[in-house]
């Protein structure tokens, strides 16, 4: 099974407000993303590849309403809170947070947990509190994963090393996997590898040999879990990533990195075509 994930981050923010959204008015954005992509994805065999689109929570309802009866698109949330509602327990004291139960009720079948931007946020909060043991981040993410799976969501769990951590990548990634997946039903999760040190303007992208090495390491550490490339599946690396046997898919974000940068549905479909070869 191949997995093609789309992380739409905050691509809903219009250009005039400093964002990259040239696709649709904010109120129509989630619906437009789904309507502009689902028909083009129907040519692929759902037994061989799954398509998950992770949207900001505000857009999930309009995106869910746009799904056709036979849509190949699975909607996902951008993480969940580490605690959940429960009958006879906490019924809603979660101001600003996303309980997994409501994410599921809004129409999601999956969630993205541990993305490098989420990890960075948690590290920043802990640092402000004077915490130096950043292994706490992995423990918090483990709680999120368990909440998500208990609610019936499939999890894409992101791992990755920064430039400072790269010399000891085995230790860093090993801990992210060991702690993050502790007590987790691994059949309900997929690993997304993000080489944080290579992501961003002016940085050298991770090469085929490095990605292959990491994917093999992850599979060895997890008993063969599916691994996708989370550093950005793009038109210019689709063929290379497709040639790595150990990589089971990729995470797409921006589709255009120059000029009018942003997410464009037709370019998203072209990246998928290049990766899957049809």
Is 59 marked active-site?
A: no
Spatial separation of the C-alpha atoms in residues 100 and 259, rounded to whole Å? 38
Catalytic residue among 115, 118, 144, 161: 115
Cα first-last separation, the chain: 16
Catalytic residue among 118, 144, 161, 194: 194
Within 13 A of 232's CA, how many CA atoms are on the CB side? Answer: 23
DSSP secondary structure of the chain: -EEEEEE-TTTTSBGGGTS-B-SS-GGGHHHHHHHTTHHHHTTS-TTTEEEEEEE-GGGHHHHHHH--TT--EEEEES---SS---TTS-SS--TT---HHHHHHTTEEEEEES-HHHHHHHHHHHHHTT---THHHHHHHHHHHHHHHHTT-EEEEEE---TTTGGGHHHHHHHHHHHHTTT--GGGEEEEE--GGG-STTPPPPPHHHHHHHHHHHHHHHTS--EEE-S---TTTHHHHHT-TT--EEEE--SB-SSS-B--HHHHHHHHHHHHT-
Is 194 marked active-site?
A: yes
Please tell me whether residue 52 adopts helix, strand or coil conformation.
Answer: strand
Kindly list the catalytic residues. 115, 194
């Amino acid at each position: 099974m191949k997995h093609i994930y789309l992380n739409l981050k905050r691509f809903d923010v219009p250009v005039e407000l400093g964002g990259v959204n040239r696709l649709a008015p904010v109120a129509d954005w989630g619906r437009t993303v789904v309507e502009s992509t689902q028909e083009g994805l129907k040519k692929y065999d759902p037994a061989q590849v799954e398509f998950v689109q992770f949207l900001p929570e505000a857009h999930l309802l309009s995106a869910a309403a746009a799904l056709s009866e036979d849509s190949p698109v699975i909607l996902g949330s951008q993480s969940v809170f580490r605690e959940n509602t429960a009958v006879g327990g906490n019924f809603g004291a979660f101001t600003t947070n996303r309980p997994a139960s409501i994410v599921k009720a809004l129409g999601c079948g999956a969630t993205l947990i541990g993305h490098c931007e989420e990890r960075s946020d948690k590290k920043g909060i802990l640092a402000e509190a004077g915490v130096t043991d950043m292994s706490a981040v992995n423990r918090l993410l483990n709680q999120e994963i368990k909440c998500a799976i208990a609610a019936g969501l499939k999890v894409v769990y992101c791992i990755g090393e920064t430039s400072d951590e790269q010399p000891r990548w085995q230790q860093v990634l090993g801990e992210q996997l060991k702690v993050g997946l502790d007590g987790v039903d691994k059949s309900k999760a997929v690993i997304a590898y993000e080489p944080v040190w290579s992501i961003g303007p002016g940085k050298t992208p991770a090469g085929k040999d490095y990605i292959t090495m990491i994917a093999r390491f992850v599979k060895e550490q997890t008993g063969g879990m599916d691994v996708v490339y989370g550093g950005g599946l793009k038109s210019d690396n689709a063929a290379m990533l497709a040639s790595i046997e150990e990589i089971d898919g990729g995470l797409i974000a921006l589709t255009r990195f120059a000029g009018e940068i942003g997410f464009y549905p037709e370019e998203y479909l072209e990246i998928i075509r290049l990766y899957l070869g049809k």
